[in-house]
Amino acid sequence: MITVIGDFILDIFEYGVSDRISPEAPVPVIKPIKTEYAPGGACNVALNLHSLGCSVNAVGIVGNDSESFTLSEYLSELYVSYLKDIESCTITKKRIICNNQQIARIDNEKRFSNPININNYCAEGTEYLVVSDYNKGTIGNCSDQFKILRDKNIKVIVDPKQDLYNYKHAWLVKPNKKEFKELVNDFDDYDDLIRKAILACKKYDFEYMLVTLGPDGMILVGKNGHIKRQSSFETEVFDITGAGDSTLAGLVYGLTNGNTLDESLEIASKVAGVAVSRPGTYNVKESDIKEKIVFTNGCFDVLHLGHLKLLKFAKQQGDKLIVAINSDESVKRLKGENRPKFNQEDRKTMLESLAIVDEVIIFSEDTPYDLIKSVKPDIIVKGGDYTVETTVGHDLAKVVIFPRVKDYSTTKILEGTL
């Protein structure tokens, strides 16, 4: 279970077109087209986690107004605790977009006067607590609360907007470059950033600090001196709205799926890359970031054009192509004592030299069924000698049959009949 606590925000996008300037002032006269809504802030973090397949509990403060009901409609699939502040309003950020260009943003907010006591709302069974703080009053000084949560082995991950003292004892704190500069009074270069991040971890008892650097990726620093640099995910940037929320969600998604913290950085980068490639506030889905794995197998004793065409076809079916080859003993059982002509290491090396092949695995069993169960491919590709029903593993993944390339076979080549 993941609990997300922080500032609930409703993002509003007003779209319009303009073909003339107002005679009253040098501003465009806009004809409205449509209005779109999207949950922002802590809501966006929670929805990204939900969209990625995580179990999420969200807690935040809203006003007693129509915007709170609009927000609740978008969060209906989550378990959400709304704390209503009748003296304030639901935070909204309205973006005015004219001719596909954002020309203004109107923020409606009033700081909440009573911060949440996080310990009272951290759901039973929570493994990770994500604190999304936009400094709107939902989050106050949490150091004592975080100490209690640490003693309960709950990992607290914070997206900060206030002085770091407020987050003392958090497991990981994730400022962006601008925020980090303000928190540590600037830095000279990335070596200085790392040095100051380590000092901050020790001073405030953070296990880790993750500084996001926009197109320059991110740097993870540990209190014990651990350092990991992660490049940004290469993509065309369309809209950076919610990029930090998506990074945070991607990091936690990676951790809850058994990845190490370093491995989760790469996942976070990919999630953020998908988010900024879409207009507005986009909730990234697991299918957006998951590699589609393609599997094929065979002896591949003497590589020929038929093999190459099958492998090229297989690679086109997904993102990663895994080729399983029979061990030498397995080939002998299938083809006879005079086979293989090339030993398993030579066959493996030849296949690995092909750019379209991502990984080669040797298996010794008569069939690759157990290997397929372990690899868990999305697609299995086999040649035209097979049908879906006769393909090993057809009950484990989708099977795609590649038509046999006429006249090409290893047996014919070796017999000299081709």
Please list the active-site residues.
245
d(CA 44, CA 115): 20
Distances (CA, A) of 122 to 5, 57, 137, 155: 8, 8, 18, 12
Which residues are CB-contacts of 109 (< 8 A; sequence separation ≥ 6)? 89, 91, 92, 136
Q: Are 265 and 218 in contact (CB under 8 A)?
A: yes
d(CA 297, CA 289): 26
Distances (CA, A) of 115 to 60, 85, 110: 10, 11, 13
CA 157, distance to chain mean position in Å, is: 16
Residues 141-150: contacts with CB within 8 Å, 24+ apart? 141/115, 141/165, 141/166, 142/118, 142/166, 142/167, 142/170, 143/167, 143/168, 143/169, 145/117, 145/118, 145/119, 146/118, 146/170, 148/119, 149/118, 149/119, 149/122
d(CA 229, CA 235): 18
- What element of type H or E holds 61? strand 56-63
Distances (CA, A) of 55 to 38, 47, 117, 247, 276: 20, 10, 22, 18, 24
- 121: nearest Cα among 242, 238, 8, 249: 8
d(CA 246, CA 340): 51
Which residue intervals of 152-260 are DSSP H helices?
177-184, 190-204, 243-256
